[in-house]
C-alpha cells in the first residue's frame, strides 16, 4: 500500500499531471450531458440527494477514467522528448496518443460495467476525429483509416508544427511526412469502385416521447395515434414504395398488436400502400430468460417479417444499471431494487432479404466504429432519457457521420426527442429535422456495394502501426 501511494505521488508530480489536468477539463466538457440525467426520475429514483450523488459519481468517474490516458500521454511525451533529433519522434508521439485513445474507449466500458454491458472499444465519446466532421479533406479519409487514423494524423501534424515553431525550421524528414499525409488525404477524394443501385425512397418518423417508468393509458394512446397518423402520411408520400424508419423505443408494432387482432394487423399493412413498404421498428420484448431485449424488426407490408436485430451495445442507466450505482445504493442504505435491465444481443450482423443487405444501428451502437459489409445503414436513437440534451445530440450526430464515411454508405437516422437526418456516403446531411417533435422527413438514398479500405480491414493497421512507433520510443528510451 505504501509503494502504491509513493508511486501515485511521484506520478502526479511528473508530466502526467499536465495531461491529466487537461483531460479533466476536456472530458468535463465532453461528458457534461451526463447531468441531463438528473434527477433520475425516469429510472424510478425519487430521492433527489441520492440521485445527485449517483449522477455526480457517474460524471466524475467518466472524466477521471478518460483523463488518465491523457495523463499517460504527457508522461510518455516528457520521457520521449530526448528523441527530438530523431526523424520519427513525431510519429512516436502520434502513435502513443492513438494507442492511448483506443485504450480509453475500453476504460469507459469498465466504469460503466453492469449486468447488461459489454467490454470492448465501444465508447468513443470525445475522440478528436469527431471535431473534424465538417472538415471534408480530413473527415473523408475515415474511409481509409477510420477515426484512429485521423487521430494519428492530427497529433502528428500538431507535433510537427510545434517542432517547426520551436526550431523555426523543419527538417527534410518532417517535410516528407507532411507531404505523405497530404497525398494520403488526397486519396480520399478518388471515387471507390462499387455498384450504385436504384435510388430508394425513405421516410423517417420522428417522435417526442418522454422517458418514464410508467405511462398512463391516455399517454400511450395519444403517442400511438400520432405515430399511426405519421406512418400513414409517410406511405402516401412514397407512391413507389420504400422504407419507413421509426426511432428507438417506438414500439409501433407492439402497440398495433394491442389494438388489432392478427388479421386486422395484416389488413392494415396491406392497405398501407399499393406498393411494398418496408417498415423498420424497435420494440422491447421478453427474451428466453428474465430480461428483455431491444429488438429492431424489419417488416414488409406485403410479405410480413423479413429480419430482426437485437441491440448489441446497451446504454448505461437507460438499459442497465452500472455496478458502481448498485454499490452506492447499497452503501446509502437503499437496497437496490430488481432492475429492469435489458440483455444485449449476441452479435452484430447484417439483415439480408431480396439480395439486399442492411445494417441497423440502435442509439449507443453508433459510437462503435465497426461496420459490416452492407448497402445501407439504418440508425434509430432516443434522447428522451437525456431530455434532448444538445451536447449529446451533437456528439451522436458526429459519430453517425463518421459511420457513414467509414463504410461509404448512406445512413438514415430516426430519433425520439432529438434530431433526425439522412447522411450520404460523404458524411453530409441531405435532409434533416432540426427541431424535436412528431414529424416526418422524406428523402431518397442510393444503396451501393462499395467496400472502403476501412470496411475491409478496420482499425488494426493503424493501431498496429501506432503500437510499433510507441514501442520504438520505449526502446530508444531504454
Q: How far apart are CA 245 and CA 450, in angstroms?
A: 23
Query: In the predicted model, what is the mean pLDDT of the chain?
Result: 87
Segment (H or E) for 144: helix 142-167
CA-wise closest residue to 400 among 429, 372, 373: 429
> Phi first, then psi: what are they for 203, rounded to 5°?
-135, 130
C-beta of residue 379 within 8 angstroms of C-beta of residue 413? yes
Please report the pLDDT score of residue 48 as a whole number: 83
Q: pLDDT class for 12, splitting at 50, 70, 90?
A: low
Of the ranges 123-127, 191-195, 198-202, 278-282, which one carries the lowest mean pLDDT score? 191-195
**pLDDT tens-digit profile of 130-164?**
999 999 989 999 999 999 999 999 999 888 887 77
Q: Is domain 200-325+340-450 given the CATH code 3.60.110.10 in the classification? A: yes
| Buried residues in 254-292 as b, exposed as e (16+ CB within 10 A) | ebbeeeeeeeebeebbeebbeeebbbbbbbbeeeeeebb
Q: At what angle do helices 48-80 and 16-30 cross, to 10 degrees?
A: 140
- Count of C-beta atoms within a 10 Å radius of residue 375: 24
429 three-state secondary structure: strand
Please check the confidence at residue 8 and state whether its pLDDT lies above 60: no
**pLDDT tens-digit profile of 279-330?**
999 998 877 666 789 999 999 999 999 999 999 999 887 788 888 888 888 8
Instruction: Write down how long the chain is.
Output: 478
Please check the confidence at residue 189 and state whether its pLDDT lies above 90: no
Q: pLDDT class for 38, splitting at 50, 70, 90?
A: confident
Q: Which three cell numbers stand for residue 20?
A: 491529466
Chain CA centroid to CA 270, Å:
35
**pLDDT tens-digit profile of 226-265?**
999 999 999 999 999 999 999 999 999 888 888 888 888 8
* Domain spans in the chain, listed from the N-terminal domain onward: 2-190+458-477, 200-325+340-450
Higher-scoring residue by pLDDT: 106, 81: 106
Chain CA centroid to CA 163, Å:
34
Please check the confidence at residue 176 and state whether its pLDDT lies above 80: no
Of the ranges 80-84, 207-211, 269-273, which one carries the lowest mean pLDDT score? 80-84
Percentage, residues of the chain above pLDDT 90? 53
Please report the pLDDT score of residue 168 as a whole number: 62
C-beta of residue 319 within 8 angstroms of C-beta of residue 212? no
- Count of C-beta atoms within a 10 Å radius of residue 139: 24
Amino acid at each position: 500500500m505504501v509503494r502504491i501511494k509513493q508511486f501515485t505521488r511521484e506520478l502526479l508530480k511528473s508530466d502526467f499531471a499536465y495531461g491529466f489536468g487537461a483531460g479533466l477539463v476536456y472530458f468535463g466538457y465532453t461528458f457534461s450531458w451526463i447531468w441531463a440525467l438528473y434527477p433520475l426520475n425516469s429510472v424510478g429514483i425519487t430521492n433527489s440527494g441520492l440521485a445527485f450523488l449517483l449522477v455526480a459519481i457517474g460524471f466524475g468517474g467518466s472524466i477521471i477514467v478518460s483523463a488518465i490516458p491523457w495523463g499517460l500521454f504527457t508522461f510518455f511525451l516528457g520521457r520521449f522528448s530526448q528523441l527530438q533529433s530523431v526523424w520519427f519522434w513525431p510519429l512516436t508521439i502520434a502513435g502513443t496518443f492513438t494507442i492511448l485513445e483506443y485504450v480509453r474507449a475500453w476504460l469507459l466500458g469498465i466504469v460503466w460495467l453492469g449486468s447488461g454491458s459489454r467490454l470492448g472499444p465501444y465508447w468513443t465519446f470525445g475522440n478528436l476525429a469527431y471535431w473534424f466532421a465538417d472538415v471534408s479533406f480530413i473527415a473523408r479519409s475515415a474511409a481509409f483509416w477510420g477515426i484512429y487514423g485521423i487521430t494519428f494524423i492530427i497529433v502528428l501534424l500538431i507535433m510537427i508544427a510545434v517542432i517547426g515553431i520551436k526550431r523555426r525550421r523543419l527538417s527534410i524528414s518532417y517535410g516528407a511526412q507532411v507531404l505523405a499525409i497530404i497525398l494520403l488525404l488526397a486519396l480520399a477524394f478518388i471515387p471507390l469502385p462499387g455498384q450504385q443501385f436504384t435510388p430508394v425512397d425513405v421516410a423517417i418518423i420522428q417522435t417526442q416521447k418522454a422517458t418514464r417508468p410508467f405511462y398512463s393509458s391516455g399517454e400511450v394512446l395519444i403517442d400511438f395515434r400520432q405515430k399511426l397518423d405519421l406512418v400513414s402520411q409517410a406511405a402516401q408520400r412514397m407512391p413507389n414504395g420504400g422504407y419507413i424508419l421509426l426511432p428507438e423505443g417506438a414500439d409501433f408494432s407492439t402497440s398495433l398488436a394491442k389494438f388489432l387482432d392478427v388479421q386486422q394487423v395484416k389488413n392494415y399493412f396491406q392497405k398501407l400502400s399499393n406498393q411494398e413498404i418496408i417498415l423498420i421498428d424497435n420494440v422491447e420484448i421478453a427474451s428466453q430468460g428474465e430480461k428483455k431485449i431491444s429488438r429492431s424488426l424489419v417488416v414488409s407490408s406485403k410479405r410480413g417479417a423479413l429480419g430482426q436485430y437485437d441491440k448489441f451495445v446497451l446504454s448505461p442507466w437507460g438499459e442497465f444499471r452500472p455496478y458502481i450505482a448498485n454499490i452506492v445504493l447499497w452503501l446509502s442504505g437503499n437496497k437496490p431494487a430488481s432492475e429492469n435491465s435489458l440483455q444485449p444481443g449476441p452479435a452484430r450482423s447484417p439483415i439480408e432479404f431480396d439480395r439486399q443487405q442492411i445494417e441497423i444501428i440502435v442509439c449507443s451502437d453508433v459510437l462503435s466504429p465497426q461496420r459490416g459489409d452492407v448497402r445501407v445503414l439504418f440508425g434509430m436513437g432516443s434522447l428522451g432519457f437525456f431530455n434532448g440534451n444538445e451536447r449529446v445530440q451533437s456528439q451522436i450526430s458526429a459519430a453517425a457521420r463518421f459511420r457513414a464515411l467509414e463504410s461509404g454508405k448512406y445512413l438514415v437516422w430516426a430519433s425520439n426527442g432529438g434530431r433526425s437526418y439522412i447522411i450520404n456516403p460523404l458524411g453530409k446531411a441531405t435532409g434533416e429535422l432540426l427541431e424535436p417533435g412528431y414529424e416526418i422527413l422524406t428523402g431518397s438514398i442510393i444503396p451501393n456495394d462499395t467496400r472502403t479500405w476501412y470496411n475491409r480491414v478496420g482499425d488494426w493497421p493503424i493501431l498496429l502501426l501506432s503500437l510499433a512507433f510507441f514501442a520504438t520510443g520505449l526502446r530508444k528510451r531504454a
